[in-house]
Structure 1
């Protein structure tokens, strides 16, 4: 999993998603899931910001799920708008943020994992 730290991990199958969730659960890490679609303007707008957060906060696992590819996962989390960000730790959903709300997303990251690890700028 170390190779994925600091990156957004796109899950294209239910098996990939389940494997990433299991690894994060085992490691006790916060998981942030970006539920998106390729045609969603807000999703495209927030994607580079989300990728920056992934680099800045390697203590969390940043997943990306295309709701058209993984309807089953989107249905499980009751996703009805895009983008939607779901924060999960130890199997518990902590918070859900709907829309490309970069400040709200950042505030939630800080709330659940604190300040970023010291890294080169």
Structure 2
């Protein structure tokens, strides 16, 4: 899964009071991805775009899930900012939620299907 990108400007930031890590550079994604690599902890990646209506609908839902499931890592990636990362994960529609454990994909939810996403997180987080 390793990406070979380098950029001197790595930017990862928390979205306000949220438990969601917003990643804004390939370098920051590489660092986060490598540090999570072999972890048995579930990571949920929200691939979205600022102009996407269903993505905006899911944003507060995703933030609420991050607050609820504190044992899960929640990451947000804007597909326009990090299109190469989105391509790596074969994101073709938005929002796409990729669930990752041990560096590999273990689940995926495409679209604003909050109940399906919640159910998959519940199943895969232990």
Q: Under a length normalisation based on structure 1, what TM-score does the superposition of the two structures give?
A: 0.85
- The two structures, once aligned, show a CA RMSD in angstroms of 1.4
Is residue 98 of structure 1 aligned with residue 98 of structure 2? Answer: no
Aligned to 2:24: 12
What are the Cα deviations for residues 39-70 of structure 1, in whole angstroms up to 9, with x where unaligned? 00000000001001001111111000000000
Q: Under a length normalisation based on structure 2, what TM-score does the superposition of the two structures give?
A: 0.82
Is residue 43 of structure 1 aligned with residue 55 of structure 2? Answer: yes
CA distance in 2, matches of 1:65, 1:48: 15
Q: Is the 8 A contact 1:29 1:60 kept in 2?
A: yes
CA distance in 1, matches of 2:116, 2:53: 18
Q: Is the 8 A contact 2:39 2:101 kept in 1?
A: no
The DSSP-based 3-state class of the residue aligned with 1:108 is: helix
Larger helix percent = 1
Q: Is the 8 A contact 1:7 1:51 kept in 2?
A: yes
Alignment of 1:1-121 (within 5 A): 7-25=19-37, 27-114=39-126
Which residues of structure 1 form unaligned runs of 5+? 115-121
Aligned residues: 110
CA distance in 2, matches of 1:24, 1:58: 16
Which residues of structure 2 form unaligned runs of 5+? 1-13
